[in-house]
Structures are given as C-alpha cells and as structure tokens.
C-alpha cells in the first residue's frame, strides 16, 4: 500500500477533488486509480475512477499497486460539474518514487489484510446481511488453502510465516519456534515437512473444543505434529499465565534469521485480525531469540513440562535488554523477553513497580515530539494507554492515533485526558459541521452495523480479537523514530505473567514509515465507522458537488486544519513536489499565486506570496494493505 499526501498551499477555489494517477516507473505506464464514492444521483457502477469521482481529500491510499513495483503518483485538481469534470489550469503534482516491498535492509515487514469490516468482504460473503451466516461462511473459506478469500485477507502473511521453515527445508537447516495458538494446517504442514528438524515449544491455550472446556485448545494439532516427527516440547502454563510467543529462528550452521510479531498460527490470525510480523536477517537477533528459546526449554524441563517461570528465567529476562546494532547499520534494537519481574502479579496492584521493558517503552513515548501511533488488542491496566494519554496532556500538539479491539482501552484514554485543554482541536472539523469528541484519537474497531447509502452491513469479527497487532510507532519521520512490536500486549500483565518477546527498533526510518502507514490505514478504516456509530442520522453518502469539502483541511486563510494532513506532510519538510512537465505555471519549482494560476497561468513563474505554503507532496508505503474509509468521508473501499 502506498500513501500519497499533498497540498497546493491552501484551498483551491472551484476544485471538486483530485484525479489520482499511478505511474509505473519501470513500464512507463499511467493508470487512473479506481473509485467507488460518487456524486449525488450517480450510480456506483463498476469501472469508475478518480477522474470521474475525484478524491475529496489531500491524501490517498493505493492498494491496487503490485508488490515489488516502483511508482510515482500524479495528482490532478479537477473542476467543472459532476459528470463533466476537467483538469484545472493550475496543473498537477508528481510524487517522489516509492517502491512497494517488505524489505528494509535486514528487516522485512509484513502486514495482512485481516480487517473483515470492509465492503469487499461483505460482498464476498453471500448472506444478505445475516451476520451469523457471514461468520460461518468466512470461517469455512479461510480454513481452505485454495480459497481466494483466504489469500486476499492473509495478504503476504502466509508467505512470511512459511519463509524460514521453507528455507530450512531447502538448505538442510533447522527451525526453533515458540508458539501459542496452533491450528492452521498449511502453516503446520511446513513444520511437518521438516520433521525432526523442527523444534517447537508449544504452550497451551485454555478454551472450548466441541463446547467443552479444555486447558489445551489445540491438543489434537499438538499430537498430530508429534506423530509427524516434529520435536514438540509441551509447555503448560497455569491459570493467569500464558506462553504467548510467536517466533521462529532459522538455524543453518548457526542462527541466521528470526521471524517474530503478533501473528498466531491460526486461520483467524492470518485472515480475520489485523496482524504484523518481521523477518530479521540478523544473526545477532536470531542468536538472542535462540538463547531465549533455550531458557524457556530449561524452565519447562525444570518444571516437569509445566511453565513455572522460575527465578532463573525471570532473572535472565530482567537482565535485558539485549542491545543489538543491526548488521547493515540501519538501526539499533533493544530486545526484551518476559516474564521480567521478580514475581508474578498479586491481587493487590496498587504498588506495582513498572516492569523494566515497559519502563523503556513509557520513556520513549514520553519523549515523543511529533506523533505516537498504535494498534493493540487488549493491553490491560496499566499499559501504554496511560503513557500515551500522559504524553498527549503534556504536549497537546502531539499527533496521537490509536485503534483497539476492547472498547475499555479507548474509554481509559478518554478518561485519562478528560478535563484537559482542547488538545488536538485542529481536527474538530474533520466531519464538516460536527464536533468530534476528544476521544476520537483512540477508538475501538467496529463495522457498518446497518446499511447506509451504498454501504452494506459488515461483519466486524470472527472471534474476540479484531485488531491483534501489538505495535507502537513514535516520531516516524525523524532520525529518532521508534517501532515497538512483538507478541507483548504492551501492558503490565504481559511483563509480569506471560512468556513474551518485544523488539524496540530505533532509528530505522524506512521501517517506521511502513509501520506508520499501516497504523493509520487501520485507524482511518475504523474512524469513519466509529463516527457513524456516534452519528447514525448524519451519515456521509456521497461526494460534495462544490468545493466546500476543502473546509475540512484548510481555513479561510489557507492554513492547514487537518492534523492528519499535517502529519503526512511533515515527512518531507525539505522537499517540494515535482511539477508535471506540462505545467507551465510551476516549471521552476516556484509557486505563483494560487488564485492567479487558477484564472490564467502566467507566462513566467513567480515566487509564492508571503505566508503561503509551497506545494508539497510525499508518498510512503508498506508492502500490503487494503483501501479503507477515512474519517472525513469513506475512501473508495475496494
């Protein structure tokens, strides 16, 4: 997915939106991006694009571009009337080149398309809006390795989780995994193909099988893997503790790489939750994870198959972090493993010490200068929610956006900042004419509950988790950027009681930009749905037929009022847009007066008026994603 953001220096009189064209750099071709949202009275027929139904935003996401390609985007202001739009005389903007790849040096980042609450999925599940039938059909289809819906929702995640086992099989290597949920037959098959060269510490998960309670939900899959020759070490944790890891180390004559993140080995994790994973081609990181694997094995053996989390394990974890300078000098990583406190949590939480891993996380959040973005499941209390709220209160201009599954986490954020100053009030006009409550910055995931306009009712979840990623991005457009991810749910419970891993990746800007794009893609998708739930009688249903939509982004003097637009444009503070070759008004990278250019392009370019921002444009990307509606109005959902 690529994100393009732009500005022409303020409002553009007469502009009804933008046609967005993707330029394939290698092929030399230009394609107008598809659209779905229409003007009033128009039908959302197949084949429409943004030259007919323009983008009424100053940033846009392209999910139809193919992974591995290099692209530019051309942004064309459109004027006229609905059904008869023409390009404006002020010309177009062309972005920097962006390459869609998961690879960022030794670190490769993967994201699935596991959000169910999309119009594409609603249309794919033939149930006439019956959510129970939609769920049943979904679960059957995502369990089938040959079903295209499974492939679409999983994105590149299946490939990511199978990469290291496949490499081990091809190169006579071994893998060492620590796993929690263990069900997907395609993934398990990759371990079976290795037989005795696949070593798995498999924890138990309490749950139900055939409506009967069990302490080991995946007992059948556990036994099946053993019968196939997989070296499975049973690690049974007591109530209140979970073996929550999901990592795999590749060993070919020594540790070579490690895959880690939020993704469990189930079809729901692949296809029905938002998840992420990283493959680190770092022998140093792989060695650290392999040492932790051995520590877990020793702890299990000392407990006779039980995950006792002895003093030896806790002491080794507490001694962290394992600090690693990446081999390609792209950044530094602090690795933390859990449990890392002297003992597990008691019933009295009033005087709990902050765990050492979260102490570092909270300190980094406190030091944020530009932005904190996050996607979590259920962090519990205390957690990063408290730290982010404190950072927002201390710095009201900090750009904060978060998405959670459990509504209480969003409520905790709202309570923590209640009574504070206006904060990020710049976004109060995101929905024209309506005040957005302050807690819009951290929202719970939800789908379209009732049909509205062309939007059908959506299935929001196929279980409990909706946003299952555990990720935080801090100041992604600075050299001090931070990405935090792993299995850790980012709350005290995980540090005190669980087997967990957490990577704090510092200074790796390409990775931070990819994670920022993913975090805001997820937030934007749910933000409009959240707003719709708050204002069901004021639903957005179509594009505006005049230029009034721009009031959401700029005030009457041309100053930006959209915090998200300002955030994206901060990614290129020193870079102007490249004007298109046919744009005579801007041929020297200097902007003439916007209103004059609209009326009649001058023969020679003139400097921008005092106080008028120069035109700017930027693209960032992550390798996979899906186009989803934003807060101002729904984007063109695929």
Q: What number of CA atoms fall less than 13 Å from residue 23's CA on the CB side?
A: 15
C-beta of residue 484 within 8 angstroms of C-beta of residue 503: yes
Helices (H) and strands (E) in the chain, counts: 16, 28
**75 domain residue, yes or no:** yes
Tokens standing for residue 39? 């003007």
Residue of 66, 98, 85, 96 lying closest to 19 (CA atoms): 85
Among the residue ranges 141-155, 157-171, 544-558, the one predicted with the least confidence is 544-558
Asked if residue 415 belongs to a domain, the reply is no
Torsion sign, CA atoms 120, 121, 122, 124: positive
**Coil vs helix vs strand at 365:** helix
Report residue 511 as tokens.
């990775």
Nearest to 115 by CA among 486, 501, 528: 528
Residue 453 — pLDDT band, cuts 50, 70, 90? low
| 598 inside domain | yes
Cβ proximity of 511 and 479 under 8 Å: no
- The angle that helices 185-192 and 219-227 make with each other, rounded to 10 degrees, is 30
CA distance 153 to 5: 26
Query: What ranges make up the beta strands (E) of 286-424?
Result: 322-325, 332-338, 371-375, 399-404
C-alpha radius of gyration, the chain, whole number:
25
Peptide bond into 382 cis (omega under 30): yes
Residue 538 in any domain: the answer is no
* ∠ CA 345-409-373, rounded to 5°: 110
Q: For residues 28-62, b (16+ Cβ closer than 10 Å) or e, as one string? A: eeebbbbbbbbbeeeeeeeebbbbbbbbbbbbbbb
Give me the long-range contacts of 590-597 (CB less than 8 A, separation at least 24).
590/614, 591/8, 591/9, 591/615, 594/8, 594/9, 594/10, 594/12, 594/90, 594/558, 595/13, 597/89, 597/90, 597/91
Structural domain span for residue 592: 2-102+561-621
For residue 24, what are the CA distances in angstroms to 66, 69, 92, 139, 412? 10, 7, 17, 37, 45
Is residue 326 within 8 Å of 260, Cβ to Cβ? no
Residue 375 lies in a domain: no
pLDDT tops 80 at residue 425: no
**Does the pLDDT value for residue 530 go beyond 60?**
yes
* Cis ω for the linkage preceding 321 (within 30 of 0): yes
- Domain assignment of residue 29, yes or no: yes
Angle in degrees, 0-180, between the axes of helices 384-394 and 356-366, rounded to the nearest 10:
20
Cα-based distances in Å from 310 to 307, 345, 519 = 8, 14, 36
Most confident of 434-443, 488-497, 611-620: 488-497
List C-alpha distances in Å: 554 to 208, 562, 586: 53, 7, 22
ω into residue 339 within 30 of 0, thus cis? yes
Number of domains observed in the structure of the chain: 1
Whether the predicted pLDDT of 121 surpasses 80: yes
Of 78-82, 115-119, 601-605, where does mean pLDDT reach its minimum? 601-605
573 compared with 457, residue with greater pLDDT = 457
The pTM for the full model equals 0.88
pLDDT for 50 equals 97
* Contact criterion met (CB below 8 Å) for 475 and 370: yes
> What confidence tens digit (pLDDT) does each residue in 61-71 have?
998 898 899 99
β-bridge pairing 471-474 and 482-486: antiparallel
Whether 479 shows a pLDDT value over 80: the answer reads yes
pLDDT at position 502 is 99
Q: What are the residues facing 455 on neighbouring strands?
A: 452
Neighbours of 445 (CB within 10 A): 28
- For residue 89 the two structure tokens come to 């005389």
589 domain residue, yes or no? yes
Question: pLDDT value at position 128?
Answer: 78
SS3 249: strand
pLDDT at 385 over 90: yes
pLDDT classification of 458: cutoffs 50, 70, 90: confident
Kindly report the average pLDDT of the chain as a whole number.
Answer: 86
Per-residue tokens: 215: 């302490």
Tokens of 148: 């295209």
Counting every residue, how long is the chain?
638
What is the per-residue pLDDT for 447?
Answer: 75
Lookup: tokens for 461: 């979840």
Mean pLDDT of 134-147: 96
Does residue 594 form part of some domain?
yes
Lowest mean pLDDT among 298-307, 387-396, 426-435, 581-590: 581-590
The larger pLDDT score, comparing residue 603 to residue 196, is at 196
Tell me how far CA of residue 270 lies from CA of 156, 209, 500, 617, in angstroms. Answer: 9, 20, 20, 34
- The angle at the Cα of 152, spanning 221 to 206, to the nearest 5 degrees, equals 30
For 58-119, list the strands marked E by DSSP. 59-62, 70-81, 84-87, 93-94, 98-99, 103-104, 107-111
The structure tokens listed for 400 are 């904060």
Element (H, E) at 123: helix 119-124
> Is the per-residue pLDDT at 136 higher than 50?
yes
Q: Give the residue, 124 or 435, on which the prediction is more confident.
A: 124
Report pLDDT digits (tens) over 360-383. 999 999 999 999 999 999 999 999
- For residues 334, 337, 343 and 345, what is the CA-based torsion angle, rounded to 10 degrees? 90
Run of H or E including 207: strand 207-209
């Amino acid at each position: 997915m690529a994100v393009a953001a732009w500005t022409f220096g303020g409002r553009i009189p007469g502009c009804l939106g933008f046609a967005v064209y993707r330029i394939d750099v290698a092929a030399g071709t230009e394609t107008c991006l598809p659209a779905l949202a229409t003007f009033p009275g128009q039908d959302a027929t197949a084949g429409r694009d943004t030259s007919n139904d323009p983008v009424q935003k100053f940033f846009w996401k392209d999910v139809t571009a193919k992974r591995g390609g290099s692209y530019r985007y051309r942004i064309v202001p459109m004027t006229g009337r609905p059904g008869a739009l023409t390009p404006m005389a002020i010309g177009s903007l062309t972005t920097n080149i962006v390459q869609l790849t998961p690879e960022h040096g030794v670190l490769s980042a993967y994201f699935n398309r596991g959000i169910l609450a999309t119009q594409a999925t609603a249309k794919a599940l033939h149930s006439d809006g019956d959510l129970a039938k939609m769920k049943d059909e979904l679960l059957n289809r995502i369990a089938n390795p040959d079903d295209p819906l499974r492939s679409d929702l999983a994105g590149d995640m299946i490939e990511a989780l199978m990469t290291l086992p496949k490499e081990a099989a091809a190169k006579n290597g071994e893998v060492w995994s620590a796993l929690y949920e263990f069900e997907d037959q395609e993934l398990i098959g990759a371990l079976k193909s290795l037989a005795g060269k696949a070593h798995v510490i498999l924890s138990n998960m309490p749950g139900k099988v055939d409506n009967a309670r069990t302490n080991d939900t995946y007992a059948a899959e556990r036994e099946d893997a053993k019968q196939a020759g997989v070296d499975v070490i049973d690690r049974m944790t007591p109530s209140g503790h979970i073996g929550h890891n999901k990592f795999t180390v590749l060993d070919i004559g020594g540790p070579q790489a490690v895959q880690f993140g939020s993704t469990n080995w189930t079809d729901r994790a692949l296809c029905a939750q938002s998840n992420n994973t990283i493959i680190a081609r770092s022998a140093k990181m792989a060695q650290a994870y392999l040492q932790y694997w051995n520590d877990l094995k020793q702890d299990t053996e000392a407990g006779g198959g039980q995950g006792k989390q002895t003093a030896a394990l806790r002491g080794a974890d507490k001694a962290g972090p394992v600090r690693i300078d990446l081999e390609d000098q792209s950044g530094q990583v602090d690795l933390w493993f859990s449990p890392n406190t002297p003992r597990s949590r008691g019933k009295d939480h009033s005087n709990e010490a902050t765990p050492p891993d979260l102490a570092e996380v909270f300190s980094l959040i406190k030091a944020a200068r530009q932005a904190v973005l996050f996607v979590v499941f259920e962090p519990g209390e205390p957690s990063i929610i408290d730290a982010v709220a404190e950072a927002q209160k201390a710095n009201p201009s900090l750009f904060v956006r978060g998405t959670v599954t459990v509504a209480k986490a969003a409520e905790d954020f709202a309570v923590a900042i209640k009574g504070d100053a206006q904060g990020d009030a710049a976004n109060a006009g995101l929905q024209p004419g309506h005040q957005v409550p302050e807690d819009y910055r951290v929202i719970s995931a939800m789908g379209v509950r009732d049909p509205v306009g062309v939007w059908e009712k959506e299935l929001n979840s196929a279980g409990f988790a909706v946003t299952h990623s555990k990720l935080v991005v801090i100041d992604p457009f600075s050299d001090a950027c931070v990405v935090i991810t792993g299995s850790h749910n980012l709350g005290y419970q995980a540090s005190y009681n669980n087997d967990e891993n957490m990577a704090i990746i510092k200074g790796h800007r390409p990775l931070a930009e990819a994670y920022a794009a993913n975090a805001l893609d997820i937030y934007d998708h749910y933000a409009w749905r959240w707003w719709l739930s708050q204002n069901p009688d004021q639903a957005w249903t179509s594009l505006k037929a005049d230029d009034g939509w721009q009031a959401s982004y700029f005030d009457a003097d041309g100053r930006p009022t959209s915090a998200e637009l300002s955030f994206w444009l901060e990614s290129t503070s020193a870079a102007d847009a490249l004007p298109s070759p046919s744009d005579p008004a801007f041929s020297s990278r200097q902007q003439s007066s916007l209103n004059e250019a609209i009326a009649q392009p001058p023969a020679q370019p003139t400097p921008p008026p005092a106080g008028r921002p120069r035109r700017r444009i930027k693209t960032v990307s992550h390798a996979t994603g899906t186009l989803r509606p934003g807060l101002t109005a729904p984007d063109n959902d695929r």
